[in-house]
Amino acid sequence: MGKRKNVIAYLFVSPWIIGFILFTGGPILAVILLSFCKWDLIAPPRWVGLENYIKMFRSESEFWMVLKFTLFYTLLSVIVSVGWALFTALLLNQKVKGVRVFSFFYFVPAVVPMIALTFAFQLIFNKELGVVNYLLTLIRIRNTPNWLMDPNYVTWLVAVLNIYTFYTGQMMLIFDSALKEVPKELYEAAEIDGAGPLTRFFRITLPTISPILLFNLVTATINSLSASFTLIYPLTGGGPGKVTQAISLDIYYNAFKTFRLGYASAEAVILFCISAVVSLLMFILSKKWVYYEV
């Protein structure tokens, strides 16, 4: 009887198991093997041992730049998107009329295709004709920046534009429901004691929602690692030069433009290791937010 039940359960789960073997688990093993090979899809793959990795980590290798930008972008976009999500969620928790209308405007960029938004950004941040630089000249700023072409600005810009992504909207909603669960009595007590809004935020709000903050920080890291292509590729194409070449773009170029599949696989392995470390962190920290109960 017990055995029969196991069989039935596995029949239900079987689509996922097949999918896992074909599209996730199998490919992860394959990408590790491929990272030790040289392959251009025409000649048969050739085992080259650690060559791809050695090439990647040579001191003059471009990969250092790619890795540096990816980590910079991830770190900055996590700070920006989590901070922005918390800020907007706090605004939506104010006792003012029309919160529902505001929440529509705050969340709607999250459901709009990023590719469409990147076209708007190209116009808005244009050096000569863009509205951002026009506004800057109105407040008498000369030498307005060439946002998308200047290596100094563009790396910051792409990270800041993360406030328009689906993931930031998602975090805003999660923060929003966490904020609604902070006990009202705490605020009332603090107000009687004469605590100002800032004190209340740092002494009551932040400690109460800290598990959710932690959760959002880790998911934001995974999200910016796995969504960077959709924002950066159409916006800058990795340029100017290669200053915004995140690892996702580099994998794409190497695998599907120059057909260096082994090298691209080695990069994918590095990306896998980075996200595995983040996930592990998530797993360890998860005990704080009771997320994995089976």
Partner 1 sequence: MKRRMIGFQYALMIIVAIIMFFPILWIISSSFKPLIEFSSYPPRLFAKTFTLKNYQEVLTNSKLPIYLRNTLILMLGNTVGTLLSSSLVAYPLARMDFRGKKLIFALILATMMVPSYVTIVPQYILFRYLGWLDSFLPIIVPAFFAYPYNVFLFRQFYRTIPRELDEAAKIDGCNEWQIFWKIIVPISKPIFITIGVLSSIYWWNEFFVPMVFINSEELKPLSVGIYSFSRTTFIVRWDLIMAMATIMIIPPMILFLLAREYITAGIKTTGLK
Report 99-128 residues binding partner 1 (CB under 8 A).
102, 104-109, 111-117, 119-121, 123-124, 128
Q: How far is CA 93 from CA 88, 175, 272, 280, in A?
A: 9, 10, 38, 33
Q: How far is CA 148 from CA 9, 122, 144, 196, in A?
A: 53, 8, 12, 41
Sequential DSSP letters for 12-35: HHHHHHHHIIIIIIHHHHHHHHHT
Q: How many residues bind partner 1 (CB under 8 A)?
A: 99
Q: Would you say 118 and 234 are in contact if contact means Cβ atoms under 8 Å apart?
A: yes
75 lines the binding site for partner 1 (CB under 8 A): no
For residues 179 and 181, what is the distance between their CA atoms, to the nearest angstrom?
5
For residues 177 and 173, what is the distance between their CA atoms, to the nearest angstrom?
6
24 lines the binding site for partner 1 (CB under 8 A): yes
Task: Scan residues 194-213 and list those touching partner 1 (CB under 8 A).
Answer: 212
Q: Binding residue for partner 1 (CB under 8 A) from 66, 163, 209, 232?
A: 163
What is the pairing mode between strands 46-47 and 37-38? antiparallel
Extended strands (E) in 72-171? none
77 lines the binding site for partner 1 (CB under 8 A): no
Per CB under 8 A, the segment of 60-68, 142-150, 187-195, 284-292 that binds partner 1 is 284-292
Q: Closer to partner 1 at the Cβ: 96 or 198?
A: 96
Q: Closer to partner 1 at the Cβ: 147 or 164?
A: 164
Q: Binding residue for partner 1 (CB under 8 A) from 130, 162, 245, 253?
A: 130
93 lines the binding site for partner 1 (CB under 8 A): no
Smallest gap from Cβ 254 to partner 1, in A, equals 9
For residues 32 and 276, what is the distance between their CA atoms, to the nearest angstrom?
14
Task: Scan residues 165-184 and list those touching partner 1 (CB under 8 A).
Answer: 166, 169-171, 173-174, 176-178
> Contact letters (x/-) for partner 1, 210-229, by CB under 8 A?
--x--xx--x--x--xx--x
* Rg, C-alpha atoms of the chain: 23
192 lines the binding site for partner 1 (CB under 8 A): no
145 lines the binding site for partner 1 (CB under 8 A): no
